[in-house]
């Protein structure tokens, strides 16, 4: 019954998206030329970020005077990709984010600190703020730069929730410790985490997710969003993948050959937006790898759930016949005692194999690390002990927007 209703929603939403893009999008008008009837979505070609970068403004379906917001996201040409929204798109973004926060269990009674960037042409902070407002929560835009301001607001406003990047939550926890602030017993009971992994592929918390839960005495909720899709998916209390809002977005998971994979199997996330006015997308290859789970969730929602993102498709490492995502190596490094900082560097060795080096500092010995890698991911990267400054220079090159733990020189 429920499944039929979802299918009907899909058929209607896809037909609308097809007719709209075929008529208004210069890019899709070209692609869909000669198609008189609504094609099957899976019969259409996919589009990747390279195409978006090359044809950026050909994806715009409305006259420029209807655009009310422009943000940027990373591109493939060295310049950022421009992404545009109409008033109706911002409302859709707010609905999407409200639904995501409903998964977290927030209501109008909640006060949430928004500790992510609202400027610098990012969309995420704006989307969260719009969603919290639509839900009727009290939003407090503390931003991501001052742990002291966060702690002050926790004390004065008694917020229930904080939306932040995990590494910033860690900084706040360190500051709290330094100031003798009892964060674990504060009013904050939910942390909505974006941008860095807080769950492993089996949904257990990563070491950073576990540290947040301990230091904050709060639940961790993972959320995943893509600027170009004007959408995000957020976990519910069950913590078994981000719930898809099927009326706003359709997701397929494809293998390297472009075929759909089975339920729960990892592949590339390919998405089609519904209800977008300015820059709708059809079968967009996000480059992110994750699995989709279609079974009903214990929270009662029947919508599919997207599992943790294991990494970018082009980041997958090939080491002596085995393939592994840098995130798996990162999880190993985060779990070993005595690793103060690290960065993973990949270079091309041959067609079939990459050379992977791990630069670390701290007390952990190379032998301990080698054993941990062999035991957990069954590969042995080269390990080098280097000064912390060398690692930090690789993690944060000039003008970078976020810290990186993986450097790809292939």
297 contacts Zn ion (rule: CB under 5 A): yes
Nearer to Zn ion, 102 or 408 (CB): 102
Q: Which stretch binds Zn ion (CB under 5 A): 69-77, 209-217, 233-241, 381-389?
A: 233-241
- How far apart are the C-alpha atoms of 191 and 356, rounded to whole Å? 34
The distance of closest approach from Cβ of residue 229 to Zn ion in the complex, given in angstroms and rounded to an integer, is 20
Nearer to Zn ion, 299 or 328 (CB): 299
Q: What single string gives the DSSP state of each residue in 342-394?
A: EEEEEEE-SSS-EEEEEEEESS--HHHHHHHHHHHHS---EEEE--HHHHHHH
The distance of closest approach from Cβ of residue 232 to Zn ion in the complex, given in angstroms and rounded to an integer, is 15
236 contacts Zn ion (rule: CB under 5 A): yes
Total site size for Zn ion, rule CB under 5 A:
5
31 contacts Zn ion (rule: CB under 5 A): no
Question: Considering only residues 118, 238, 261, 328, which one is a binding residue for Zn ion as defined by CB under 5 A?
Answer: 238
Q: Which stretch binds Zn ion (CB under 5 A): 229-237, 325-333, 374-382, 399-407?
A: 229-237
> In 3D, which of 169, 211, 196 has the Cα closest to residue 326?
196
44 contacts Zn ion (rule: CB under 5 A): no
The distance of closest approach from Cβ of residue 236 to Zn ion in the complex, given in angstroms and rounded to an integer, is 3
| CB burial string 327-341: b at 16+ within 10 A, e below | bbbbbbbbebeebeb
299 contacts Zn ion (rule: CB under 5 A): yes
The distance of closest approach from Cβ of residue 40 to Zn ion in the complex, given in angstroms and rounded to an integer, is 29
Nearer to Zn ion, 301 or 316 (CB): 301
The distance of closest approach from Cβ of residue 299 to Zn ion in the complex, given in angstroms and rounded to an integer, is 3
The distance of closest approach from Cβ of residue 243 to Zn ion in the complex, given in angstroms and rounded to an integer, is 6
Query: Residue 42, CB half-sphere, CA atoms under 13 Å: how many?
Result: 10
Nearer to Zn ion, 139 or 290 (CB): 290
- How far apart are the C-alpha atoms of 253 and 270, rounded to whole Å? 6
Q: What single string gives the DSSP state of each residue in 126-184?
A: HHHHHHHHHHTPEEE---SS-HHHHHHHHHHH--SEEEE-HHHHHHHHHHHHHHT--GG
CB of 84 closer than 8 Å to CB of 52: no
- How far apart are the C-alpha atoms of 261 and 333, rounded to whole Å? 30
The distance of closest approach from Cβ of residue 226 to Zn ion in the complex, given in angstroms and rounded to an integer, is 20
Contacts with Zn ion by CB under 5 A lie at: 236, 238, 297, 299, 301
């Amino acid at each position: 019954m429920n499944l039929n209703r979802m299918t009907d929603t899909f058929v209607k939403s896809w037909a609308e998206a097809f007719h709209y893009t075929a008529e208004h999008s210069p890019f899709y008008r070209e692609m869909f030329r000669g198609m008189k009837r609504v094609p099957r979505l899976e019969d259409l070609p996919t589009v990747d970020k390279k195409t978006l970068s090359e044809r950026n403004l050909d994806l715009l379906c409305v006259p420029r005077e209807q655009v009310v917001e422009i943000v940027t996201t990373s591109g493939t040409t060295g310049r950022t990709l421009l992404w545009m929204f109409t008033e109706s798109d911002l409302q859709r973004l707010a609905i999407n984010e409200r639904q995501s926060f409903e998964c977290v269990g927030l209501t109008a009674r909640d006060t949430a600190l928004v500790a992510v960037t609202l400027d610098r042409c990012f969309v995420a902070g704006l989307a969260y703020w719009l969603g919290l407002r639509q839900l009727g929560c009290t939003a407090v835009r503390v931003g991501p730069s001052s742990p002291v301001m966060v702690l002050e607001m926790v004390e004065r406003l008694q917020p229930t929730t904080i939306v932040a990047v995990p590494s910033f939550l860690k900084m706040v926890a360190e500051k709290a410790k330094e100031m003798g602030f009892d964060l674990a017993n504060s009013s904050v009971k939910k942390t909505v985490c974006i941008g860095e992994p807080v769950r492993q592929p089996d949904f257990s918390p990563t070491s950073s997710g576990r540290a947040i839960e301990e230091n904050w005495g709060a639940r961790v909720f993972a959320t995943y969003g893509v600027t170009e899709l004007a959408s995000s998916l957020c976990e519910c209390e069950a913590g078994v993948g981000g719930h898809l809002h099927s009326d706003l977005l359709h997701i397929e998971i494809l293998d390297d050959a472009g075929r759909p994979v089975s339920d729960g199997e990892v592949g590339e996330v390919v998405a089609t937006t519904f209800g977008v006015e300015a820059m709708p997308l059809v079968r967009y290859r996000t480059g992110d790898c994750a699995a989709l789970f279609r079974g009903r969730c214990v929270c009662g929602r029947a919508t599919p759930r997207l599992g943790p993102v294991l990494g970018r498709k082009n980041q997958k490492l090939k080491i002596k016949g085995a393939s592994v995502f840098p995130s798996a190596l990162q999880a190993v490094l985060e779990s070993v005692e005595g690793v103060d900082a690290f960065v993973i560097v990949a270079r091309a060795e041959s067609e079939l194999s990459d050379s992977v080096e791990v630069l670390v500092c701290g007390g952990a010995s190379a032998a301990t690390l080698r054993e941990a890698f062999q035991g957990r991911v069954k590969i042995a990267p080269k390990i080098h002990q280097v000064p912390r400054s060398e690692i930090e220079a690789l993690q944060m090159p000039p003008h970078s927007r976020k810290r990186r733990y993986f450097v790809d020189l292939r």
